[in-house]
Amino acid sequence: MGTEIERKFLVVSELWRPHSRAPQLVRQGYVGRGPTSVVRVRTMGARAFLTIKSAGAALVRAEYEYEIPFKDADELLANACAGQVIEKIRHRIEWEGLDWVIDEFEGPMKGLLLAEIELYCTDQDIDLPAWAGREVTGIADYSNEQLSLAGWPPEA
């Protein structure tokens, strides 16, 4: 089984920007939502993926991801996501030997910045960078699925 162990933080400063490498436009939406799983379609640069995840915003989730033709993903985003598509610029950052991503949201959520780090185990120690603010791991309002439905989180 594919497993994702991920922590998520609000970004509180611009100090990360000089470390950004290979920013890419990401467009994503959800073609299936249920009580136990979600199915996401995503384009990232010139590539596209279909991802099945266990539902929720928890620290540990089952995750299966498959590359699909870009044209198929583009059509799914246009036709099957009911206008609930997230657009963001994804920045990759190496910080103290770990790979972080910072998602800089576009459109109605412009200004929202979320940092994510994937871990090897649930109790992995990490030193938080100065730009990583309040942890929002497990807060449903900050899951991409909920952002696609409701927009800007009420607490942000």
Active site residues: 30
Phi and psi angles of residue 117, each rounded to the nearest 5 degrees, phi first: -135, 130
Structural Rg of the chain based on CA atoms: 15
Closest by Cα among 153, 116, 150 to 132: 116
Which residues on adjacent β-strands are paired with residue 93?
100
**Angle, alpha carbons 145-148-149 (nearest 5°):** 95
